[in-house]
Amino acid sequence: MSTRPLLLGHRGASKYAPENSVAAFDLALGHGCDGFEFDVRYTRDGRCVVCHDPHHERHPIDACLADELKLPSAADVVRNYAPRAYLDIELKVPGDAGAVFDALQTVPPHRYIVSSFIPEVLKRVNASRQQVPLGLICENSRQLQHSPMLPVQAVMIESKLVTKSLIDELHAAGRQVFAWTVNKEPEMRSFAELGVDGLISYDTRLLAKTFEGRDRPPV
């Protein structure tokens, strides 16, 4: 049997459960995916919480205390899932993610990646934690232009950018390629054939079913 890309839930199994929730993370793994992507933001008291949007229930996350928001702790997610899941940890904004990195200390670097749209966030992490694998997230060609100048091991490209030539170019530069958000079976199969290293999808059930019977890549 041939190997397949890494299969990751986008904010967990967010088609089937609230995004960035423990239920969504559990479902992504239960469906048969290798892991999931989740988002990290910072509260007023400096806690790392899991949330995609800058507001939670109309409250600005950076103006609230963590205990007021009742959001999952990013460090707890790492501690609870890293032993059994590949983690794509997206840093949404600049800030101190020290608690997350403390939780990652015993996790082998091939078992996770820290990603961001923001080049300065990635540079700052690399300056103090050179052992942490980093990924640049891109949704347009302008953002892709930052890739050669950044200390990243992977580039996360939006599905509309996926071409064989781009994948080959990034691989030649020593970068892994993750494609997001891939929610239809023909695209899942096509991108895998083009050589992407990871697929990120809301529909974790379909993603796992599409590659059922194919070997998991070594991670």
In a domain, 125, yes or no: yes
- Please state the domain count of the chain: 1
Which pLDDT does position 95 carry in this prediction? 97
Which pLDDT does position 216 carry in this prediction? 83
In a domain, 216, yes or no: no
Pair 21, 10: CB distance under 8 Å: no
**CATH at 161:** 3.20.20.190
Q: Whole-angstrom Cα distance, residue 214 to residue 112?
A: 21
What's the whole-model pTM score?
Answer: 0.97
Which pLDDT does position 10 carry in this prediction? 98
Token pair recorded at residue 97? 């993610």
Per-position DSSP letters for the chain, written without gaps between them? --B--EEEEETTTTTTS-TTSHHHHHHHHHHT-SEEEEEEEE-TTS-EEE-SSSEETTEEGGGS-HHHHTPPBHHHHHHHHTTTSEEEEEE-SSS--HHHHHHTTTS-GGGEEEEES-HHHHHHHHHH-TTS-EEEEESSHHHHTTGGGS--SEEEEEGGG--HHHHHHHHHTT-EEEEE---SHHHHHHHHHHT-SEEEES-HHHHHHHTTTSBPP--
In a domain, 217, yes or no: no
**Which tens digit of pLDDT belongs to each residue from 120-169?**
999 999 999 999 999 999 999 999 999 999 999 999 999 999 999 999 99
**Which tens digit of pLDDT belongs to each residue from 174-203?**
999 999 999 999 999 999 999 999 999 999
Q: Give the domain range for residue 132.
A: 6-210
218 class by beta-carbon count within 10 Å (0-12 exposed, 13-18 middle, 19+ buried)? exposed
In a domain, 196, yes or no: yes
Which pLDDT does position 1 carry in this prediction? 42
In a domain, 1, yes or no: no
Pair 215, 1: CB distance under 8 Å: yes
In a domain, 218, yes or no: no
In a domain, 68, yes or no: yes
In a domain, 46, yes or no: yes
